[in-house]
Amino acid sequence: MQPKRRALGVTRVQAFLPIVAGAIALLAVPGTAVALPDLTVTSLSATPTAVEPGGSISVTDTVLSTGGATGTVVVRYYLSTDQTITTADTYIGDRIIASLASGVPSTVTTTLAVLTSLNGARYIGAIVDINNSVAESDETNNKAVGNSIDISKVDLTVTSMVLLFVQSPLGLTWSW
Ligand SMILES: [Ca+2]
Ligand SMILES: [Ca+2]
């Protein structure tokens, strides 16, 4: 009985090997794999932190490409009510990077207008390669969120009010 079992085992292995070899041949990619760059926004901030609707802010961001150089890349800026930046947030402008060398950061300050319709706290957000013109090793890390900005009208009446107290013979009176 023992020799018969061995013979059966060999037959199964021989039948299985061509299938494995065929699968490996299909999965194998000839030549060296092409390394893709990875774009990220490594820093993002906006000043001033309080601005009136219709005013302007200076947005400074740094974009880095690792693992390879890229051609033209567009960075798109948003104002968001929360710290999750999406393309549904309020678009306020772009900057265009003509090309990026691998590992060399691009830091630029861009002046952008705040829409007159906005009011309240907003976070500055940015998405690099918004048009997905660059194939990357990681397409999920292209968003960044920075500080919040208080967008509201400045009330000059309250901030400039000065109270004057005057002592009169009939008692304390006050005016401004
Ligand atoms: Ca990326
Ligand atoms: Ca991309």
User: Residue 151: how many CB atoms within 10 A of its CB?
Assistant: 22
Structure tokens at 90: 């309020």
Instruction: Decide: helix, strand or coil at residue 62.
Output: strand
Contact between 59 and 75 (Cβ < 8 Å): no
CA–centroid distance, residue 27 to ligand 1 (Å): 26
Record the pTM: 0.71
Give the ligand with the smallest distance to the CA of 71. 2
Q: Fold for 38-153, please state it.
A: Immunoglobulin-like (2.60.40)
Give the ligand with the smallest distance to the CA of 138. 1
CA 110 to chain centre: 15
The domain locations on the chain are: 38-153
Per-residue pLDDT tens listing for the chain (176 residues): 454 555 444 445 444 444 444 444 444 455 667 889 999 999 999 999 999 999 999 999 999 999 999 999 999 999 999 999 999 999 999 999 999 999 999 999 999 999 999 999 999 999 999 999 999 999 999 999 999 999 999 776 655 556 555 565 666 555 55
CA–centroid distance, residue 164 to ligand 1 (Å): 61
Tell me how far apart the alpha carbons of residues 6 and 21 are, in angstroms, rounded to a whole number.
23
Tell me how far apart the alpha carbons of residues 40 and 26 are, in angstroms, rounded to a whole number.
34
CA–centroid distance, residue 71 to ligand 2 (Å): 11
